[in-house]
Amino acid sequence: MPRATSPSRRTAPSRWRRRPRRTARAAAPGAAASRWRSPRRSRSTRAAKAWKARQAQWAALLEIQRSGKAPAVGVSNYGRHHLEEIAAAGLEMPAVNQIELNPWSQKPDLIAHMRDQGIFPMAYSSLAPLSTWRVEPGQDSAKTADTKRDDAVFSAMATKYGTTEAQLLLRWGIQKGYAVLPKSLNVAQMQQNLALAGFAIDAGDMAVLEGLDRGFGVAWSVGDPVGMK
Ligand SMILES: NC(=O)c1ccc[n+]([C@@H]2O[C@H](COP(=O)([O-])OP(=O)(O)OC[C@H]3O[C@@H](n4cnc5c(N)ncnc54)[C@H](OP(=O)(O)O)[C@@H]3O)[C@@H](O)[C@H]2O)c1
């Protein structure tokens, strides 16, 4: 009884014939054949390695906490997928996640997930929207000329409340329930950053500030790390 077979290579129409495999050398001229990996595969291998490292680091931090050397431990720049990795590994969740948070970078989904998991948000680069922020040579960020277009909103609100724009931005973080950690080398500005209790941004202005979210942080010139694998 004849068996149903696929057409032989010799008789198959040319469109069925297998293309010759790309060799490692052909795909990456000059590279050693054994070292070549497809970009897709090396991306997932890198991601798996990165997760392994994160898991080991997090387990070590939990161990430090268990030993009594730290009352609480946390993470920084963790996106939802990073936090879900911890949950999937059955490890205790962090007490805090330090991320870029300011009216330009509000991360509402991540914040909601953190709240669900009992993870406290700590805001860095709260002052990133200031036009004077990281403008000195050597201070890099992902800020562009375009990212300055809301400055008028902050200055108008600061005038309304009789504060500086920096105070307005820090007060926004506090009213959102975040820990804020402004950095300053200037004593007058340090004092300003501590004097946030004398005013409150009203609900209408909080709604206006809510509308300024651009969906990503600018502190890192390479992109907001919460989105990285
Ligand atoms: N986990 C992370 O990936 C990460 C990333 C970035 C930052 N951080 C941490 O977050 C903290 C703050 O971060 P940051 O430096 O990015 O941002 P920041 O505190 O939002 O901004 C600091 C800059 O704002 C200026 N400034 C401070 N107070 C001011 C005021 N009242 N008026 C006008 N300008 C004022 C400072 O200049 P003067 O010194 O002249 O006052 C400095 O140039 C640091 O402790 C940093 O280590 C963490």
Mean predicted lDDT score pLDDT of the chain: 86
Provide the residue-wise pLDDT of the chain in tens; the chain has 229 residues.
Answer: 344 434 344 444 444 444 444 444 444 444 444 555 555 667 688 888 999 999 999 999 999 999 999 999 999 999 999 999 999 999 999 999 999 999 999 999 999 999 999 999 999 999 999 989 988 888 889 988 777 777 799 999 999 999 999 999 999 999 999 999 999 999 999 999 999 999 999 999 999 999 999 999 999 999 999 998 8
By alpha-carbon position, which residue is closest to atom 8 of ligand 1? Answer: 124
Rounded to the nearest angstrom, the distance between the alpha carbon of 28 and the centre of ligand 1 is 44
Q: Which residues pair with 100 in a beta bridge?
A: 124
pTM of the prediction? 0.84
Determine the atom of ligand 1 nearest the C-alpha atom of 192: 31
Determine the atom of ligand 1 nearest the C-alpha atom of 165: 32
User: Is the CB–ligand 1 distance for residue 132 below 6 Å?
Assistant: yes
Note the pLDDT tens digit of each residue in 59-106. 999 999 999 999 999 999 999 999 999 999 999 999 999 999 999 999
User: Is the CB–ligand 1 distance for residue 102 below 6 Å?
Assistant: no
Range list of H helices, the chain:
24-27, 39-66, 80-88, 108-117, 151-161, 165-175, 187-194, 203-210
Q: Is the Cα dihedral 158, 164, 169, 170 positive or negative?
A: negative
3-state SS, residue 94? coil
Determine the atom of ligand 1 nearest the C-alpha atom of 126: 20
Per-residue b/e over 175-205, b at no fewer than 16 CB within 10 Å? bbebebebeeeeeeeeebbeebeeeebeeeb
User: Is the CB–ligand 1 distance for residue 105 below 6 Å?
Assistant: no
Pocket test for ligand 1, best of 75, 183, 189 (most atoms within 8 A of CB): 183
Determine the atom of ligand 1 nearest the C-alpha atom of 102: 20
Ordered domains of the chain (ranges, CATH): 35-73 (no CATH), 74-227 (3.20.20.100)
User: Is the CB–ligand 1 distance for residue 77 below 6 Å?
Assistant: yes
> What does the block give as tokens for 149?
């277009």
